[in-house]
Copies of this chain bind each other. A is one copy, B any other.
Amino acid sequence: MQLLKERIQKEGKNLGGGILKVDGFINHQVDPNLMDACGKEFAKIFRNIGATKILTAEISGIAPAVTTGIHLGLPIVYARKHKPITMPDQVFLTLTPSHTKGRTVELIVSPEYLSGGERVLIIDDFLASGATILGLVQLAQAAGAFIVGIGALIEKTFEGGRQALEFLGVPIEALARIKVMEGDQILFED
């Protein structure tokens, strides 16, 4: 998606160690109109997969998941990292390593909002190693739901996440696919 790639070129910062800083429009400050355009694009890509629910992980997946949900007319569920007091005792929980936090985090979904037979579209900000998205896949599968598609705003193709998710046999789409980050240089796949 040209609009997103241009924004990454203009404002993204390679902090080294595979970390791309996009805090100016995705991860701390959010450009809602860009997120809306991304949601519209995801809706176009995934409109025929028969999804019944969108699943994401707090925190940075929420904005693109919400805009995708608006354009597909689907509810979204964001997996929590801490169990709030409003959640029942019995939950779906998985552990996932966090690249940017350097430790393992919990991903928790209430069985109230993820049921057997649901067709789940996963939307997240990044597809890097695939660890977070794999955690979401495990939550959905624990609930007896089916994964029908995976969308990420930004993929770092050199971190192997796509390969780790291919076994699912579902469409995996990223709106900006980065193949190289070296110094100030950010190169996209064609």
Q: Which of A2-10, A74-82, A178-186 is found at the contact surface with chain B?
A: A74-82
Contacts of A70 in B (CB 8 A): 32-33, 35-36, 67
Q: Does A160 contact B (CB under 8 A)?
A: no
User: A86 with B32: in contact, given A62-B59, A66-B67, A67-B66 (CB under 8 Å)?
Assistant: no
Within 8 A of B (CB), among A98-127: 100-102, 109-110, 112-113
Among residues of B, the one whose C-beta sits closest to the C-beta of A80 is: B28
Contact B32 A74, beta carbon cutoff 8 Å: yes
Contacts of A50 in B (CB 8 A): none
Contact B112 A35, beta carbon cutoff 8 Å: no
Chain A, interface size category, equals: 35 or more
Q: Could you mark each residue 8-44 of chain A with 1 if its beta carbon is under 8 Å from any beta carbon of chain B, else 0?
A: 0000000100010101100111111101100000000
Among residues of B, the one whose C-beta sits closest to the C-beta of A70 is: B32
| Among B32, B69, B84, B86, contact of A69 (Cβ-Cβ < 8 Å) | B32
Q: A55 CB to closest chain B CB, in angstroms?
A: 10
Q: Does A63 contact B (CB under 8 A)?
A: yes
Contact B66 A24, beta carbon cutoff 8 Å: no
Question: Which of A15, A23, A77 is most buried by chain B, counting CB atoms within 10 A of its CB?
Answer: A23
Contact A21 B73, beta carbon cutoff 8 Å: no
Contact B33 A73, beta carbon cutoff 8 Å: yes
Q: A97 CB to closest chain B CB, in angstroms?
A: 15
Q: Does A87 contact B (CB under 8 A)?
A: yes
Q: What are 27 A-B pairs at a CB distance below 8 A? A: A15-B86, A23-B84, A23-B110, A23-B112, A23-B113, A28-B77, A28-B84, A28-B87, A28-B109, A28-B113, A29-B112, A29-B113, A30-B66, A30-B69, A33-B69, A35-B70, A62-B63, A62-B66, A63-B66, A66-B67, A67-B70, A82-B101, A84-B100, A84-B101, A85-B101, A85-B102, A86-B100
